[in-house]
Structure 1
Amino acid sequence: MDSDPAHMLTAAVDGARRLVLERRPQAVAAVLGGSTAGGRATATSDLDIAVLLADGDVSHRETLRHEGRLAEVFAHTRAGLAEIFAADRASRRGTMQFVYAESVLLHDPHGHAAALRAEACAQLAEGPEPLTAEERDDARYRLTDLLDDLADLGDRHEQLAVAEQVLSTAAGLLAGHRRAWRGGGKWLPRRLTAADPVLGRTLLEARLTVAEHADPAPLRAAAYEVLALVGGPLREGYHRTWHGGEKRG
């Protein structure tokens, strides 16, 4: 595969456009988003394609292979996309908003995709809703408990598992405090450093120190910096009423 980023992007856009024309000829509009549109594609990157369907069609998600390349197709009506935008704002991840905001137009004869991209950009600029007091304190308590565990774990497998949870919980808490978007997987470090370039990078480097040197001290120190921003560690006094059926963890 061509390693030149510009050529890779052009090839990806051309392939994605052919996919839309061949597999989704009923599309009202379509965009290419994700890592590929952002110039971060690798030889194994899939194509993240959002397709706007006519009202009355059925919103769906599908993984398929086209011209030898995997593609994730997110097909939705206007009403379906509004629901997805709302859910992704509530999760504070803004997943579909980022797909549209950082996209390349594939098919947009009536300007619908451009309008949706502008809407997504506006929502991302506004940021997610602030953490509620209960959400903040739940995360404080969870992070405090994880840090207590991390302090004296001798088993390397347990230490690494808890370190990952410390990073994830601290990242979510820091992003929430900054009213910034959070991410998972490869998007966790990207969103974390966008939320707080200094403390975010410190957390990431400290997690590496656990992995490479079995030393949890820098990660504990960085996570306690996050806790200091939101009221400090929380142990005694934490109380929640159990409601059957609610999500835990």
Structure 2
Amino acid sequence: MALRYPDANLILLAGSVVRQQAKPGSDLDIIVLGSQEAPYRESFLAHDWPVEAFVHTSASLELFCQKDIERRRPSLPQMLSESILIRGDLELAEQVKTRALTQLTAGPKPKTRLELDQARYALTDLLEDFEAQDVDTALFILPQLLSCFFDFFFDSQNLWRASSKWIPREIKKHNPDLHQTLKTAILAFHKENDATLVISLIDRYLTPFGGRLFAGFTLGRDDV
């Protein structure tokens, strides 16, 4: 890494290897700070290891972290917070990690009532489509419905959003009962064509925020 990034002030290792969760084919997540050509991202092999490198200046690192915070998916701050130093100044590395931990601990900005109502409206629309369709059609609605539900769950609980493999991990971490119920509901639909568990689950999480929302929802009118 030192040869590939000779101008780097810091090279940090993050990801599944650091968390001791690596599986065959897992890549090494490398964060490089100080390159004059940054920011950029590249993938390559090093000693037969797949490597994904995120190369930044100090300014771009802060900018990209802030963008992650604003979109409620703090991928880069999470990597920084768990990283270990490969090369560079230990004090600087600790400053970078502390900054990331502070951002993560602060949590996302709470959603406004209007934003939650917009999310309820979108989720209601997908849920009623899913509910009304035959199984063959509902099968293709389910992924988007679940994606919308996951975002609603994280937002309504004021938690960081997750994506891909991190969705079940984060749900299990914060709400083990929901994690188990989701698995049961999804398997019931795929194995038995039974949509009732998915529908009742989403309705249950909508209820504390007013339930399904269609009639009376207005957006963009100044007189409301």
1:76 corresponds to = 56
Measure, in 2, the Cα distance between the counterparts of 1:23 and 1:118: 27
Shift of 1:64: 1.5
The question of 1:208 aligning with 2:213 is answered: no
Q: Name the TM-score, length of structure 1 as normaliser.
A: 0.81
Percent of pairs with identical residues? 31
Is contact 1:38-1:103 (8 Å) kept?
no
Is contact 2:131-2:138 (8 Å) kept?
no
The question of 1:227 aligning with 2:206 is answered: yes
Give the direction of change, closer, same or farther, for the CA distance of 1:180–1:118 in structure 2 (3 Å limit). Answer: same
Aligned equivalent of 2:86, options 76, 96, 106? 106
The aligned length equals: 221
The question of 1:137 aligning with 2:137 is answered: no
Measure, in 2, the Cα distance between the counterparts of 1:129 and 1:38: 27
1:176 corresponds to = 155
How far does the alpha carbon of each residue in 1:182-233 deviate from its partner, in whole angstroms, 9 at most, with x for none? 1111112122233433224422432232222221111111111211132211
Shift of 1:164: 1.7
How far does the alpha carbon of each residue in 1:152-189 deviate from its partner, in whole angstroms, 9 at most, with x for none? 32243x32222222221111111111111111111121
2:106 corresponds to = 126
Q: CA RMSD in A?
A: 1.9
Q: Residue type matched to 1:99 in 2?
A: M
Give the direction of change, closer, same or farther, for the CA distance of 1:211–1:104 in structure 2 (3 Å limit). Answer: farther
1:9 corresponds to = none
1:159 corresponds to = 138
The question of 1:41 aligning with 2:30 is answered: no
Structure 1 runs (4+) deviating above 6 angstroms are none
The question of 1:59 aligning with 2:39 is answered: yes
Is contact 1:164-1:207 (8 Å) kept?
no
Measure, in 2, the Cα distance between the counterparts of 1:178 and 1:65: 40
Measure, in 2, the Cα distance between the counterparts of 1:179 and 1:194: 14
How far does the alpha carbon of each residue in 1:75-117 deviate from its partner, in whole angstroms, 9 at most, with x for none? 1111101111111011111110111112222223242122111
Measure, in 1, the Cα distance between the counterparts of 2:176 and 2:106: 19
Shift of 1:137: 1.5
